[in-house]
Amino acid sequence: MLTQPVDDRTVALERDERPRATLGCIQLPTDLTLDEEGPALVGRLPGVRLRLQKVELDGESLDLRNYETARGRIARAAATLRPVGGLDVVGLACTSLAFALGRDHVQRELAQAQPGAQVTDMATALLAALDELDVRRPALLTPYVDELHERNLALLRESGREVVAHRHLGLSTDEEISAVSARSLRRLALATDVDDADGLVIACSAFRACRAGFLDQLEDELGKPVVSSQQAFLWHLLRLAGVRDRVGGHGSLFARPAQRPADRPALVSTPTAAGGDVDPYPSRVPEPGLVDRVDPVVTDGARGRGPLSGAQVERFERSGALVLRQVFAPDEVRALRDTIEELREHYESLSYEELDRTTDMRVITERGGTLVGDAGEAPTLKSIWQVHLPPEHAAHMLFAADLSRRAVCDARLVDAARQLLGEDVYIHQSRVNFQRGVSAHGSGGSGFLWHQDFEQWHCEDGMPRMRAVSMAVLLERAVPANGALMVMPGSHRRLVQAYGDPSESGRYEKGALSRGPELPVELLARLADEHGIAYCRGEPGDVVLFDCNTIHGSHTNISPWGRSMFFAVYNAVSNTPAPRPFAAAEPRPEHIGSHDPRFAGVALPALHQSLAAPLRPS
């Protein structure tokens, strides 16, 4: 603590905490791409600082002769980076300069100038990224002239890789390369790729390939990893500095869960709004209000591009909800209902003590509208979560694992979500809801008060934007009497801020749901009067779709009729939550809000095509 006299007063000056990591980059004097893309990506990671410095060259052309003038100057440029606390890592941000001078030479100069920092270069980072993604047979796209392109080919081949296809543009300056538009770069990438390639390399830091969303879209189209020089370089700097956050929108390289030493706490990040540092959807505030939505409900071109008709897309966009009739055939519904009923009977045959001993947090019970039971009582199942995983990851689903996965990963659902969101999707959360009716076994399933899902997913899971859609596959009739879903049509256009203290958010205990805050009562009547309330009635086999921000709720089922369903949330892969949520100290468990898009793009055949197979192992 320091003190400083100001006008006969003494003011305490507190020092900022030391940053998590400080990264140093040495770049070409003509490189403007890193100036934009580097801070945009690193700025999403709190506590990480990026320091840039130019290395002097005699000319602007990208060729071996001009590169030779950089010898000795890399160290001088790196030596000028003297941030408080020093650098954790420093690297040369030019792929072709690194392999032209030799990676060993470049790293010696960097180490000479910054002896306390780890060192890397863009060519080394590129190879490390390919190793991380296990790409052994890449296709290669470069902007270079012949001599540099051949050096890039040699770099890959000398690392033990077989380059199965390659293309270069013959451009000789950063200005020319950075002028290649995203649309042109995409077309070039698609033209370079071949079926035999297990990944695509887009070399050169001047290509604007690390803009948020570009690599995700390209990977979705190609169905394989795409590594760009800028992406690989920033990823390698961060990993060497111990920053292992996953960052959405920058390809599978940044989306992969990173392994950490067991004794080291997880490092987290808070994403920011595109193009700025302000969260567009703040909530958990002292005085709640309404925040206008900034994300589209459906993407441009969604009409006529998938299983939903143009009229259905327009209705979903307008109201935020839609009921699709008879999506699943009666034999499919019967198989699903019989299987989960058998699963329910199995779990309800156990005592609460046995459930606590033998199951995990994914099996949720309720007792007369609460979520706990007294010792010795038989449990009543409310829901089972994370039903979309393959059987080897879903031991809690027992014999129902395969059929449940097929239900929520069915192509008819996944393709509809892709159509609305305009990109590949993964399952953010999934479950089977039982919502039993009143019977001798006990009271009916409890309801949920009015709420918006996105508010909780944003504040407690770290979902950045409104780019998700929920779907419920009805296994029984849904009518007002048994608590059918209620929505406020058109309410998805604004976020209703919630009261709250972020330090109280995200709490989760075994056997209990993590309920988000309900709508502020002072706004509820106003919103209901403005939007009205509609029931999503449906028959077995119907599917209810609703937007992630649609206000909805349901009341307790006091009828004798059950209302079971499969439920899944499909989130855009580019919208994968960051490890640190927006209003909680840590995210909820993975089975409640997934950060893992490994099962993205799964679109399994319709159930009726495989019902001849046994429903459970013999």
Residue type, 316: F
Return phi, psi of residue 580, to 5°. -105, 125
pLDDT of residue 580 exceeding 90, the answer is no
Listing from the earlier edge strand, what are the strands of the sheet with 425-433? Answer: 321-324, 543-547, 468-474, 565-572, 425-433, 380-385, 363-366
Is residue 174 within 8 Å of 30, Cβ to Cβ?
yes
Give the residue among 299, 325, 316, 323 at the shortest CA–CA distance from 419.
Answer: 299
The pLDDT of residue 273 is 36
**How large is the average pLDDT for residues 547-576?**
92
Question: For residues 616 and 613, what is the distance between their CA atoms, to the nearest angstrom?
Answer: 9
Looking up tokens 């990224």 gives: 129
Q: Which residue has the tokens 């849904």?
A: 478
What strand order describes the sheet that includes 21-27? 48-54, 21-27, 89-92, 118-121
pLDDT at 390 over 90: no
Is pLDDT of 544 > 80?
A: yes
Contact in structure between 545 and 316 (CB atoms under 8 Å)? yes
Q: How far apart are CA 562 and CA 68, in angstroms?
A: 76
If we measure between CA atoms, which residue out of 96, 69, 86, 78 comes closest to residue 26? 78
User: Tell me: the pLDDT tens digits for 168-210?
Assistant: 999 999 999 999 998 899 999 999 999 999 999 999 999 999 9
What is the tens place of the pLDDT at every residue in 232-252?
A: 999 999 999 988 887 877 888
Distance CA 521, CA 525 (A): 7
Q: Taking residues 387-414, what's their average pLDDT?
A: 89
Give alpha helix (H) positions in 244-299: 251-255
- Beta sheet of 534-535, edge-to-edge order: 448-451, 552-554, 486-487, 534-535
Structure tokens at 387: 């039903």
97 — phi, psi (to 5°)?
A: -65, -35
Closest Cα partner for 593 from 519, 516, 521, 533?
Answer: 516
pLDDT at 439: 67
The arithmetic mean of pLDDT across residues 352-370, rounded, is: 66
Which span out of 2-11, 383-392, 543-552 was modeled with the highest average pLDDT? 543-552
- Report the distance separating Cα 190 and Cα 200, nearest Å: 9
Answer for the pair 27, 93: CB distance below 8 angstroms, yes or no: yes
- DSSP per-residue codes, 554-581: E----SSS---EEEEEEEEGGGPPPSS-
Inter-CA distances, 387 with 393, 394, 418, 495, 605, Å: 10, 7, 20, 29, 17
On the question of pLDDT at 219 being above 70, the answer is: yes
Query: How much is the pLDDT for 602?
Result: 54
pLDDT in tens, 440-463: 556 666 777 899 999 999 999 999
Give per-residue pLDDT as tens, 302-327. 776 789 988 899 889 999 999 999 99
Q: Does residue 378 surpass a pLDDT of 80?
A: no
pLDDT at 389: 86
Scan for tokens 């805050």, then name that residue.
517
| 301 compared with 240, residue with greater pLDDT | 240
User: Percentage of residues in the chain with pLDDT exceeding 70?
Assistant: 83
User: 249 is written with which tokens?
Assistant: 């929108």
Tracing tokens 């709640």 back to the chain, one arrives at: 288
Average pLDDT over residues 14-18: 54
Domains and CATH numbers, the chain: 21-255 (3.40.50.12500), 310-609 (2.60.120.620)
Phi, psi of 249 (to 5 degrees): 90, 5
Q: Are strands 494-496 and 290-292 parallel, antiparallel or unpaired?
A: antiparallel
E strands, 255-394, are: 290-292, 321-324, 363-366, 380-385
One-letter identity of residue 381:
L
Question: What span, in angstroms and rounded, lies between the C-alpha atoms of 565 and 195?
Answer: 40
Terminal-residue alpha carbon distance, the chain: 70
In this prediction, residue 271 has a pLDDT band, given cuts at 50, 70 and 90, of very low
How does DSSP assign 38-107, residue by residue?
HHHHHTTSTTEEEEEEEPP-S-S--SHHHHGGGTTHHHHHHHT---TT--SEEEE--HHHHHHH-HHHHH
Calculate the average pLDDT of the chain. Answer: 83
Average pLDDT over residues 105-130: 93
3-state secondary structure of 131: helix
Helix, strand or coil, per DSSP, at residue 242: coil
Q: Which residue has the higher pLDDT, 266 or 397?
A: 397
Cα-trace Rg, the chain: 27
